[in-house]
Homo-oligomer: A and B are copies of this chain.
């Protein structure tokens, strides 16, 4: 219990010699000028395998509780020791692993706001990587109150950047006169994101049809009221 395990900072540094430091590498995180420590360097391959196995399990098992260190180790083909050398416990591992879901989708700049929104929405519910991201989303949201730090980080690094892409498109639409000048951007965000996330997880509704993104965007654009 007294064992003080080295807590790795979330900072990233370029690798120096031999080890081609890639982004987000947990093992090579050390100041740029520092000398390489003695001994065998940590395996970047193990790093990646662990993080990928963690994310996969989180998506598949439908909950933080379903992710066990032993299952991650087995799936990644590494020993538990190798995991505990890097992270102090399960929550820390999952928090770090979420970085793997970080990269935002680019904001398309098409002919119109409508087209941009549809493109984003389509990527949101159909893209293969985003499928995993959505599964992780539901897994994490389910156990939200249990792991507030996990929630906070996931919200900050994964959810918000995505909301921001849409937010930007909406604001651009207002400026360009394509959307109402008095548009309630945040409410519109809840509507579109909510519809997509819910539909993607709906039970018994089958896979999301190809035209769902367009239907959502059009319904939101034109409104449901008679005119």
Contacts and interface: CB of A to CB of B under 8 A. Distances in A.
Interface of A: 60-66, 138-146, 151-152, 155, 170, 173, 177-181, 183-184, 187-188, 190-199, 201, 203-204, 212, 215-216, 219-227
Given A155-B203, A179-B225, A187 B219 contact: yes
B191 A144 contact: no
A62 B145 contact: yes
A170 to B, nearest CB: 8
Nearest to A189: B195
Contacts of A173: 224
* Nearest 7 CB-CB pairings of A with B: A142-B142, A223-B223, A194-B194, A65-B65, A194-B198, A62-B143, A194-B195
Nearest to A117: B224
Contact of A144 (B138, B215, B224): B138
Contact of A224 (B141, B143, B221): B221
A33 to B, nearest CB: 37
Contact of A215 (B187, B225, B227): B187
A188 B219 contact: yes
B225 A146 contact: no
A216 B190 contact: yes
B194 A191 contact: yes
Contacts of A138: 141-142, 144
Contacts of A142: 62-63, 138-143
Contact of A190 (B62, B63, B199): B199
Contacts of A145: 60, 62
Nearest to A188: B224
A222 B219 contact: no
A190 B194 CA distance: 8
Nearest to A186: B215
